[in-house]
């Protein structure tokens, strides 16, 4: 089963955590000094916020899969439709280890499809790549042709 993922950049993590705890009626399942995440079942969403110097607002959206096979299927559908994807394996991002396939929609919104298979003690890697949708975990959000994916 898949789960919708939304990642929002916030200017004030503490006040945002209080707001989303009230909205969701639950504390974050992951809480770090610069990041919080809720793994909700109703609605089924992986909702993350971070305070990392990005412009406030939606950083990216995505689909989290339960298995590597579901991720491969999603990535194959995107590629079959002619979309250029940027694939990452065993990357560290948002305090997690994941395999990912990134794509930009026609309006330039970044989509992350990913399968998480472990936790990490660091926020992530910031590694540049020459792919059009670029490559790194949660780096600054430059224009989409050089945008760096996030968690």
CATH number at residue 45: 3.10.180.10
Residue 109 lies in a domain: yes
The answer for residues whose C-beta is within 8 angstroms of residue 16's C-beta and 6 or more apart is 8, 10, 36, 49, 51
Q: What is the pTM of this model?
A: 0.74
Q: Which residue has the higher pLDDT, 52 or 73?
A: 73
Q: What is the pLDDT of residues 34-55, one digit of tens each?
A: 999 999 999 999 999 999 878 8
Domain count of the fold of the chain = 1
Q: What is the pLDDT of residues 76-131, one digit of tens each?
A: 888 888 888 899 998 888 788 999 999 988 888 889 999 999 888 887 764 433 33
Does the structure show a pLDDT above 80 at 62?
A: yes
Give the Cα separation of 125 and 44 in Å (integer): 27
Does the structure show a pLDDT above 70 at 133?
A: no
Q: Which domain holds residue 38?
A: 1-90+99-118
């Amino acid at each position: 089963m898949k789960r919708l993922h939304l990642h929002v950049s916030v200017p004030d993590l503490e006040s945002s955590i209080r707001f989303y705890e009230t909205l969701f009626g639950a504390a974050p399942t992951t809480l770090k000094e610069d990041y919080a995440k809720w793994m909700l079942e109703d609605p089924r969403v992986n909702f993350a916020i971070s305070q990392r110097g990005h412009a406030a607002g939606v950083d990216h959206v995505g689909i989290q899969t339960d298995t590597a096979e579901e991720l491969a299927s999603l990535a194959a559908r995107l590629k079959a439709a002619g979309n250029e994807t940027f694939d990452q394996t065993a990357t560290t991002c948002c305090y997690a280890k994941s395999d990912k396939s990134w794509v930009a929609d026609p309006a330039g919104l970044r989509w992350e499809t990913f399968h998480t298979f472990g936790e990490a003690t660091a926020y992530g890697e910031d590694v540049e790549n020459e792919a059009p949708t670029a490559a790194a975990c949660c780096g600054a959000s430059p224009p989409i042709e050089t945008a760096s994916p996030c968690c």
